[in-house]
Amino acid sequence: MERQAFAEPAWVIRSKTIKQLIKELQSFENQDLPVEISVDDGATRKPISLVKKSGQVCLLVNSET
C-alpha cells in the first residue's frame, strides 16, 4: 500500500522571530527550566549549548560530539 504524503501544517514549518520566542519563553512560570531542542517531536532531545547569529538567522546550537 502506498503511503500518502500530506503537507505539513503552517505552524510546523513557519519560523519564529527572536521576539516571538522570548515572549513564549516568558510565559513559563519556572524561568529556571533547562532548555533543550528536538528535531523529531521529542523522541530525542539535546541541550542548547550556544545561541548565535548565523547569516540572517539566530541559530540554536548543540555542541556535543
Predicted confidence (pLDDT) at residue 1 exceeds the cutoff of 80: no
DSSP assignment of the chain:
-PPPP-PPPHHHH----HHHHHHHHHT-S-TT---EE-SSTTSS-EE--EEEEETTEEEEE----
Choose the weakest-confidence range: 8-12, 53-57, 58-62. Answer: 8-12
pTM passes above 0.75? no
- Residue for grid cell 519564529: 16
Residue written as grid cell 523529531 = 40
Q: Is the pLDDT of residue 12 over 90?
A: no
| C-alpha distances out from residue 21 to 1, 10, 64, Å | 41, 17, 23
Domain ranges of the chain: 10-61
